[in-house]
Amino acid sequence: MQIMTRFEEENGGELLVATLCLLETSSTGLLETELLQILGDTDNLMQPQAAEGSEKDDSKSEKQGKYSEPLPAYKWAEVYRALRPFLRPFGDSGEGRLDFYHRSLSKAVRQKYLQNEKDQKWWNKKLAGYFENVQNLERKVEEYPHHLIELDDKDRLKELLTDWDIFEELFNIEYSSKLIKYWNKTCTHDEMEQCYVTKMENLVNDPEAPKQLLSQRLERLSRFLAQMGRYTRSIEYSSKAQTLEEELGSDPERMADVHYNIAIVMIEKKGLNGFMDKKDLVVCREIFEHFEKSVELRRPIMGDNKEQKLKLGLALTRQAFNCTEFVYLGGNEWMSKDRAKEVAVDRLEEAMKLYEELHDDYHYGDALITRGLCEEGGERLKYYLEAEEKLVQSAGRLNPKMDRLLLNTGIHYEENGEYFKSYEYFHRWYLMVMDLYGEKHIKVKRCIDTLREPFYVRVANQRGKEIPAPYEP
């Protein structure tokens, strides 16, 4: 503590303290330009009680900050010169991220200046006030939601996450990890869905909103709602997007996206059942046909476009997965077991070739999982092991593809009567789904139902493992 006090007195006083607190409180570090802008608001630099001779009270809100003029360079030079040995290096442009090089300084700053929740929240509030008005969306989504979560400001979080620009920045066609995480910390899934329903209704009722924009928003929102397990609304929105695209003239690229989205939502909703039945093959045929339309529309327009190649690969991979259900259930009059395997392997070969061209080990690993589903016994497990290696090397162990790998490996061992091994994989699967989607996601229900089956309850008791409580939405 004495060292920090002397360091503060000798190297810039309040400016140095503010810099230390801002860096420590930030979510991902700060750009030098951001620091200079915040530090330039000298009237609101420190907490009122911490500023020498200050008569301000703590009612000052973060919105009173004025960031029109950055801190003069000569003042910053003194602070930076003192802190330089402790900061991670950044590029000559000054646009690199500044953060502490050693966690020991981080710990010292917390012990000296951020001892209690009130201190921490003051700096969270200051950073929230700054990033609320930042135009750089990439930086805004990195910092602003974090500080609103720390402040437990759920109203502003809802407003932020339903802003269309922010939604687009955080949305990912396969897995919107940050958007999911932020909503899980904001409100219930019912409330989340209603926020977007209201937002969508406002857009639909806007006479100046073009149909093309409506279609794109409906499709993407449909996909995200499916990622959150809200399948009924998701299917409604995907159907509306299809209708709008047909009214607009059925642009091949847009229709390829729409058919893919409809198929994905249907296949994910069907997957919640936890079991497969012969009558499900009627739905599987409908899913197959949507994927087939997406593939047929995408192939002619793909060219050398990497995004189009990836989208085609995704459609082919999921279409192949859909075919494996015909294989597993013995086929029907529309598609036999042998024909289903033939189509699945053909689609996977085409997809894996695309992934090789894109140097995409992550999706190649996903395709290997589905390739394993086309086989039996040790041959299936061989593909699963190769898939795991690809996935872990490319994306670590916490990712949505590992979710399905753990589930399918557990099913493999269960079908072979190796119940202790299947339990291990089902338990890992449960923990991963909880981490990926949050404890209230509908996918967690299937995990819990599996682990609460009488046999697996006995296995858990034998191993001293905790048995999950019944699922509560």
Domain boundary among 74, 99, 131: 131
Domain edge (last residue) among 97, 116, 131: 131
For residue 122, the enclosing domain spans 2-131
Q: From 96, 131, 166, give the residue that closes a domain.
A: 131
Please give the average per-residue pLDDT across 182-205, as a whole number.
Answer: 96
pLDDT for residue 94 is more than 50 = no
Which stretch of 1-15, 175-189, 281-295 has the lowest confidence by average pLDDT? 1-15
User: Domain for residue 145, yes or no?
Assistant: no
* Predicted confidence band of residue 323 (pLDDT cuts 50, 70, 90): very high
pLDDT tens-digit map of 370-398: 999 999 889 999 999 999 999 999 999 99
Q: Tell me the average pLDDT across 433-454.
A: 94
Q: Give CA separation, 37 vs 65, 89, 217, in Å.
A: 10, 20, 35
Q: 426 lies in a domain?
A: yes
Report yes or no on 116 lying in a domain: yes
Q: What is the 3-state secondary structure (H, E, C) of 53-122?
A: CCCCCCCCCHHHCCCCCCCCHHHHHHHHHHHHHHECCCCCCCCCEECECCHHHHHHHHHHHCCCHHHHHH
pLDDT tens digit string along 329-379? 999 999 999 999 999 999 999 999 999 999 999 999 999 999 999 998 899
Q: Please state, in angstroms and rounded to a whole number, the distance separating the CA atoms of residues 94 and 207.
A: 45
Judged by DSSP in three states, 376 sits in coil
In a domain, 346, yes or no: no
Supply 106's token pair.
Answer: 């981080």
Q: Mind listing the pLDDT tens digit for each residue in 57-90? A: 443 444 445 677 899 998 888 888 888 888 875 4
Describe the crossing of helices 32-39 and 73-83 by its angle, rounded to 10 degrees: 120
In a domain, 124, yes or no: yes
- Decide if 186 is inside a domain: no
Within-domain flag for 341: no
The tokens describing 356, both together, are: 């090789």
Q: What is the pTM of this model?
A: 0.88
The number of domains in the chain is 2
Res. 52: pLDDT tops 70 = no
pLDDT value of position 14: 84
